[in-house]
């Protein structure tokens, strides 16, 4: 997907802001943003264990750009739960000074729409229900993450009537 203006509903002036599919040209800006947002502990998360075996999915991963500078990022990965193909979501981050204008949820919705369009059965993530519940995510009680995690933070959004049960694992 090429760059396009963010909707005026984002509360920010549209011309300066665009969404773009992630490309290698965004990588340095994304890494710097993730370092600022999560700090040095970002690689200790159980989600990182999934990212070690899952394939990065650039067609479902997006940046929010302000005059070409990365101010928001969401990344997606191809994995599986049992025999169901799922998109594993994250990380997501928005530059601190640009939060609470809807950019985060716009990135969530865009990534999930891309996953559905790509034929994924569901999106799985580790995160907070009060936030991701706004996009329709709910606790996935039978999905098991590699490594320790609060089971109440393992969430999914299904696109079909599928049963998600088992470990998050590499796609066959």
If we measure between CA atoms, which residue out of 143, 38, 125 comes closest to residue 75?
A: 125
User: Which residue in the set 37, 118, 144, 162 belongs to the binding site for ligand COA (CB under 6 A)?
Assistant: 37
Question: In whole angstroms, how close is the CB of 161 to ligand COA at the nearest point?
Answer: 26
According to the binding rule CB under 6 A, does residue 83 interact with ligand COA?
no
Measured CA to CA, the distance from residue 101 to residue 144 in angstroms comes to 33
Question: In whole angstroms, how close is the CB of 38 to ligand COA at the nearest point?
Answer: 6
Measured CA to CA, the distance from residue 95 to residue 118 in angstroms comes to 28
Measured CA to CA, the distance from residue 71 to residue 123 in angstroms comes to 23
Query: Interface residues for ligand COA in 96-115 (CB under 6 A)?
Result: 99-105
User: Residue 25, Cβ neighbours under 10 Å: how many?
Assistant: 11
Binding part of the chain for ligand COA, among 22-30, 53-61, 94-102, 164-172 by CB under 6 A, reads 94-102
Measured CA to CA, the distance from residue 135 to residue 164 in angstroms comes to 18
According to the binding rule CB under 6 A, does residue 154 interact with ligand COA?
no
According to the binding rule CB under 6 A, does residue 93 interact with ligand COA?
yes
DSSP 80: E
Q: Which chain residues interact with ligand COA by CB under 6 A?
A: 37-38, 92-94, 99-105, 127-128, 130-131
């Amino acid at each position: 997907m090429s760059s396009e203006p963010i909707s005026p509903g984002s509360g920010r002036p549209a011309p300066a802001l665009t969404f773009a599919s992630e490309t290698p040209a965004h990588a340095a800006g994304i890494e710097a943003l993730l370092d600022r947002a999560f700090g040095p502990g970002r690689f200790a998360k159980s989600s990182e264990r999934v990212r070690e075996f899952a394939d990065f999915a650039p067609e479902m991963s997006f940046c929010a750009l302000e005059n070409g500078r990365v101010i928001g990022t969401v990344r997606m990965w191809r994995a599986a739960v049992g025999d169901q193909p799922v998109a594993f979501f994250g990380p997501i981050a928005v530059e601190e000074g640009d939060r609470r204008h809807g950019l985060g949820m716009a990135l969530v919705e865009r990534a999930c729409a891309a996953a559905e369009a790509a034929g994924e059965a569901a999106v799985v993530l580790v995160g907070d229900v009060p936030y991701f519940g706004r996009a329709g995510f709910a606790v996935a009680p039978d999905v098991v993450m590699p490594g320790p995690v609060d089971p109440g933070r393992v969430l999914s959004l299904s696109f079909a009537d599928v049963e998600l049960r088992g470990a998050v694992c590499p796609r066959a």
